[in-house]
A and B are shown apart, each in its own frame.
Chain A
Amino acid sequence: MIVLTPLKNFQFPVHAECISPDVFQGKSVKEIASLTVWEGNKKKKLGDLFKIEETSAETPSIIINSDASEVRRVGQGMKNGEIVINGNAGMHLGEKMAGGKITVNGNANGWTGSSMKNGLIEIHGDASDYLASPYRGSTEGMRGGKIVVDGNVGSDSGCYLRGGVIIVKGNAGPFMGFHISKGAIYVEKNAGNRLGASMTGGKIVVSGSVDELMPTFTIDGVKGKVKIDDTLKAEGPFYVFLGDLAENGNGKLFVSQPANPQLSAIYDKYL
Chain B
Amino acid sequence: MSVINAVTCPICGCLCDDIEVTVVNNEVVKVKNGCAVCEAKYMGYKSEHRIRQPLIRKDGKLVPVSMNEAVHKAAEILANANYPILYGWSSTNCEAQRVGVELAEEVGGVLDNTAVVCHGPSLMGTQEVGIPTSTLGQIRHRADVIIYWGCDPWSAHPRHLERYTIFTEGRFEDSEWKSYLNKVKAAAGKKKLLSAQRAGLSKKAPATVAESVVFNKPPETLQKEGRKLIVIDVRKSMTAEMADYFIQVEPNKDYELMQALRALVKDEELDVDQVAGVPVEYLKEVVETLVNCKFGVIFFGMGLTQSAGKFRNIEVAISLTRDLNMRTKFLIMPMRGHFNVAGANIVFAWQSGYAFGVDFSLGYPRYNPGETTSMDVLLRGESDAALVIASDPGATFPKRAVQSLVKNPLIVIDPHMNATAMLGDVVFPSAFVGIEVEGTAYRMDNVPLPLKKVVEPPEGILSDEELLKKILEEVKSIKAQKTKQKAEGA
Contact = CB atoms under 8 A, between A and B. Distances in A.
Which of B107, B273, B312: most chain A CB closer than 10 A? Answer: B312
Given A12-B384, A40-B361, A270 B124 contact: no
Interface string B246-275: 000000000110011011001011111101
Contacts of A175: 309, 312
Interface string A221-265: 000000000000000000000001110100000000000000000
A151 interface: no
Which of B82, B271, B272, B371: most chain A CB closer than 10 A? Answer: B271
B82 A12 contact: yes
A18 interface: no
B319 interface: yes
A138 B211 CA distance: 49
Given A215-B270, A216-B270, A246 B262 contact: yes
A136 B367 contact: yes
Given A91-B371, A110-B371, A136-B368, A248 B308 contact: no
Contacts of B128: 137, 139
Nearest to B320: A246
A11 B381 contact: yes
A178 B312 CA distance: 10
Contacts of B127: 136-137
A136 B266 contact: no
Contact of B269 (A38, A197, A218, A266): A218
A56 interface: no
B229 to A, nearest CB: 25
A135 B368 contact: yes
The majority secondary structure among interface residues of chain B is: loop
B382 A70 contact: yes
B360 interface: yes
Interface string A36-62: 001111100000000000000000000
B210 interface: no
Contacts of B107: 41
A83 to B, nearest CB: 21
Interface in B350-377: 360-363, 367-371
Contact of B275 (A11, A193, A215): A215
A248 B128 CA distance: 18
Interface residues of A, number: 41
A13 interface: yes
B119 to A, nearest CB: 15
A42 B82 contact: yes
A110 B373 CA distance: 14
A162 to B, nearest CB: 16
Contacts of A246: 259-260, 262-263, 266, 268, 316, 319, 323
Contacts of A244: 259, 263
A270 B319 CA distance: 29
Interface in B52-67: none
Contacts of B384: 11-12, 40
Given A12-B382, A197-B255, A41 B83 contact: yes
A244 B271 CA distance: 12
Interface string B79-102: 001110000000000000000000
B83 A248 contact: no
Interface string A191-231: 00110011000000000000010111111000000000000
A186 interface: no
Contacts of B362: 15, 38, 41
Contacts of A130: 370
A41 B109 contact: yes
A129 interface: yes
A130 B308 CA distance: 16
B108 interface: yes
Nearest to A178: B312
A245 B108 contact: no
Given A214-B256, A216-B268, A216-B270, A41 B263 contact: no
Nearest to B371: A91
A174 interface: yes
B271 A218 contact: yes
Interface string A3-22: 00000000111010000000
Given A194-B312, A246-B268, 17 more contacts: A11-B382, A12-B83, A13-B361, A41-B82, A41-B83, A41-B108, A41-B360, A41-B362, A111-B368, A197-B255, A197-B259, A212-B256, A215-B260, A216-B259, A217-B271, A246-B266, A270-B271
Give the 3 A-B CB pairs with smallest separation, nearest first: A41-B108, A40-B82, A246-B262
21 contacts: A11-B82, A11-B382, A41-B362, A70-B382, A156-B312, A178-B312, A194-B255, A197-B259, A198-B259, A198-B316, A212-B256, A215-B263, A216-B259, A216-B260, A219-B271, A245-B263, A246-B259, A246-B262, A246-B263, A246-B319, A248-B266
